Structure 1
Amino acid sequence: MTLLALGLILWIVPHYIKRLAPGLRDGWGNPGKGAIALAILAGMVLMVIGYRSAEFVPVYAPLPGMGHANNTLMLVALFLYGVGGTKGTLYPRMRHPMLWGTVVWAFAHLLVNGDLASILLFGGLGLWALGQMALVNRTPWTAPTNGRGLKGDAMNLAGTLVLYGIVAMVHLWLGHPVFEGTYY
């Protein structure tokens, strides 16, 4: 659990530095940006290792049938991740699609995982995304106007389905079949 917590810290703190201490980050130049990127990468690695090695400590029992809700919400989360890149109809209407995708992803996983490590990982990243949105919202936003419209949505949907298949295969490879009635 220590590695998981350390990974979360190495993910959250560098992400917050940009918003909480922009002058500090800017003063570091490119070497500082590289160090921040390495800290974030190290955080991701530690979160994975820490989550995979954490002892299973049950906190709550997921409700029956939540696997279907999880699978549906994961489609929504992956679609939200692609909104900025494909610039579909949501692009000019939504300020934080990737962060909202992270919130949906975290909530979906909390529906099917009731152990302490899952609460720390998914709950921590979901709260980080909400906090990040609050920090970003302190600055004014001008909605973009150069979207692709329905073409972007079609591209995003195709990419979402491909990525969903890849994510499902990785989960299966890790021993967590996503289309069965029971999870983790």
Structure 2
Amino acid sequence: MWIFVAGVVVFFATHLLPTAPALRERFVARLGDNGYRGLYSLVAFVGLVMIIWGYGEWRTAGPAVLYVPPLWTRHLTMLLMLPVFVLLIAAYAPGRIKARTKHPMILAVKIWAFAHLLANGDAASVALFGAFLAWGVIDRISLKRRTPAATGGGAAVVNGSARNDLIAIVGGLLVYALFVWKVHTWLIGVPVLM
């Protein structure tokens, strides 16, 4: 459990650094832009590895069950997960989806975390998905506050191509289908379809 907690602290401290622009700028001034990005990536990766390792150990130890979700929440989770992979791809394929959602990756993380909180009631899962949901909410609020100041009064609306939207939708649904079919079981050890 402590490896998990330490990983959460390291990972989210890193990811919350951009919400404090003055502190971030001090790191960039000291390390340079590439040095900052490299250190940021390394520390975030170490935190993520600690989260995954600690979460696995905590679940193996049998964490306390905080609530038992009803069976229907699994179906709701699967439904809520449909747009998650579409949004993740849309974050890298600028299109109308990205323009409308503004920050599709953060939205994807929030939906993913909320959906998994509906289907998992053990303490390890609540801590994991609750932490990601809290980060998503905090980061989105921070982005709303940072964007106008950084862009001189508001972010420009960018209308991307319909082709990129099609790529995001088809690619996202394909990845979703693969996760439902086998990938979730292979990566996480928990089958989606039982």
TM > 0.5 between the two?
yes
1:39-78 superposed matches below 5 A: 39-54=43-58, 55=61, 56-78=63-85
Higher relative contact order (CA 8 A, sep 6+): 1
SS in 2 for 1:85: coil
1:161 equivalent to 2:173? Answer: yes
Farther-moved stretch of structure 1 (80-89 vs 131-140):
80-89
2:191 is matched with which residue? 177
- Give the AA of the match of 1:130: V
Match of 1:142 among 132, 155, 169: 155
Q: Distance in 2 between matches of 1:155 and 1:112?
A: 29
| Cα distance change on mapping 1:110 and 1:34 into 2, 3 Å | same
Query: Number of aligned pairs?
Result: 179
TM-score by length of 1: 0.89
- Give yes or no for contact 1:92–1:143 (8 Å, CA) kept in 2: no
Q: Distance in 2 between matches of 1:4 and 1:143?
A: 39
1:84 is matched with which residue? 91
2:102 is matched with which residue? 95
- Give yes or no for contact 1:67–1:179 (8 Å, CA) kept in 2: no
1:24 equivalent to 2:26? Answer: yes
- Give yes or no for contact 1:4–1:46 (8 Å, CA) kept in 2: yes
> Shift of the alpha carbon at 1:117?
0.6
Q: Distance in 1 between matches of 2:113 and 2:125?
A: 9
TM-score by length of 2: 0.85
Which segments of 5 or more consecutive residues in structure 2 lack a partner in the other structure?
149-153
- Give the AA of the match of 1:26: V
Structure with more of its chain in helix, by fraction: 2
2:10 is matched with which residue? 10
- Give the AA of the match of 2:10: L
CA RMSD after TM alignment: 1.6
1:88-127 superposed matches below 5 A: 88-127=95-134
Which segments of 5 or more consecutive residues in structure 1 lack a partner in the other structure?
none
- Give the AA of the match of 2:183: V
> Shift of the alpha carbon at 1:146?
4.1
